[in-house]
Amino acid sequence: MKRKTLRKVTGPLMLLTCGVMTLGGCSAEIGRMPYESDVRCLRKELGTQMHLSFPLAANTCQRMTDHNFAIGSKNPQPIPLNLHNAPDLQKMADEYGYSYTR
């Protein structure tokens, strides 16, 4: 009897857990999404409820030469931010010393 009850509870609980994990991947705090532009990522990170500073947002959005893999090259280098048509972000990048392409 207890096994039947446990099976009835386990299925919906697993489904709920998977749903929460899937939706949690859509939060702004997760970082850069695949195929997202640098400008869009920075604006998303700067516009969160946490109101991140530009250096924190830039570090979250900046790509590396090893594509941000944990196991990769020994000395990955940051790729300059592509801030085309975003003069406000270019000004902040200059202020904090981040390299970028116009």
> 2-60 pLDDT, tens per residue?
666 656 666 676 777 766 666 555 555 566 777 889 999 999 888 877 778 999 999 88
| pLDDT for residue 92 is more than 90 | yes
Contacts of 72 (CB under 8 A, 6+ apart): 64, 66
In this structure, are 20 and 57 located in the same domain?
Answer: no
**Domain of 65?**
32-101
Q: What is the C-alpha R_g of the chain? A: 20
In this structure, are 43 and 60 located in the same domain?
Answer: yes
In this structure, are 10 and 50 located in the same domain?
Answer: no
Query: Alpha carbon of 85 to those of 24, 55, 101: distances in Å?
Result: 31, 20, 10
Report how many domains make up the chain: 2
> How many CB atoms lie under 10 A from the CB of residue 62?
19
The per-residue pLDDT for 83 is: 95
In this structure, are 39 and 72 located in the same domain?
Answer: yes
In this structure, are 59 and 73 located in the same domain?
Answer: yes
In this structure, are 52 and 19 located in the same domain?
Answer: no
In this structure, are 81 and 56 located in the same domain?
Answer: yes
| pLDDT for residue 84 is more than 70 | yes
In this structure, are 22 and 66 located in the same domain?
Answer: no
Average confidence (pLDDT) over 70-93: 87
The per-residue pLDDT for 39 is: 94
SS3 assignment for 19-38: HHHHHHCCCHHHCCCCCCCH
